[in-house]
Amino acid sequence: MQGKTIGILIKPKSSEIKPTLQELVSWLRERSATVLLDMAATALLHEQGGVQKSQLAAQADVLIVLGGDGTILSAARLAAERGIPILGVNVGGLGFLTEVPLNDLYRALDRLFANDFIIDERLMLQALIHRHGETVASGIVLNDIVISKGTLARMIALKIAIQGQFITNLRADGLIISTPTGSTAYSLSAGGPIVNPSVQALILTPISPHTLTHRPLIVPADMEIEVVLTSRDDGAMATLDGQVGVAIVEGDTALVRVSDRRTKLIRFPESHYYDVLREKLKWGDR
């Protein structure tokens, strides 16, 4: 890692991590790494020369993320084009995607510099929003794409097709289309299954469906999913990873497929998915 360019992305408005950030930057520079900071981090340290988040991933060889799962999701979208690896350091809440607890940071960095790590590649989704035959929005996500109702307490109507084949008309509060990584996020809260991230599949989870027979559905990762909003609902949204929202109207179509990009998470050999399930989600506890 000596001589590499390391980008640091921090959780927005997290001034309490200033001492950690100062120490981390000094540690990296002492080891001849070029450190790139986003604008929030440079402002926190009163340094000059910060870069926009979009440029951070374009110039760095590795991203170190100080934050929680939301910061990791943001970093995943930034890093996707170049496929640079991400080391997540948990300074947030649950931290399901962040590999390293804060008190283990420098032990993890020593192993990173010694090349004692593995890369865990995670499937991502691409979404295209079409209106009258034109693409009005697009994006890629690590967790999920959610089609949901507006602020009024009523359901929306969706027409769902998979690989061009009609599947169902759904009346519900919405629909979650998630990756296996996203299966432990909103989809799980809505009654969806937990799916190991190594499984190449997509999960469709209805949100509070009107008909109880509408159950979660798992489909192969090579399938394209088409969701048409068939009801007239002001305020309906397509939301990407819970962070980017696109207003949709009657007749709009969301096309969702697996992206050719992958999120590359830095992991350590002794870290196992089921250990994380038990530790973070208390899975199987009585």
Active site residues: 69
265 contacts 189 by C-beta, under 8 angstroms: no
Closest residue by Cα to residue 88 from 284, 250, 282, 280 = 280
Per DSSP bridges, beta strands 62-67 and 86-90 are parallel
Quote the distance between the C-alpha of residue 213 and its chain's center: 29
203 contacts 183 by C-beta, under 8 angstroms: yes
What is the rounded distance in angstroms from the CA atom of residue 99 to the CA atom of residue 254?
A: 32
Which residues, in sequence order, are CB contacts of 269 under 8 Å at separation 6+?
A: 116, 117, 118
Query: What is the maximum alpha-carbon separation in the chain?
Result: 61
DSSP designation for 273: H
As beta bridge partners, residue 141 has 125
What is the rounded distance in angstroms from the CA atom of residue 89 to the CA atom of residue 97?
A: 9
The residue written with tokens 């931290």 in the block is: 95
119 contacts 267 by C-beta, under 8 angstroms: yes
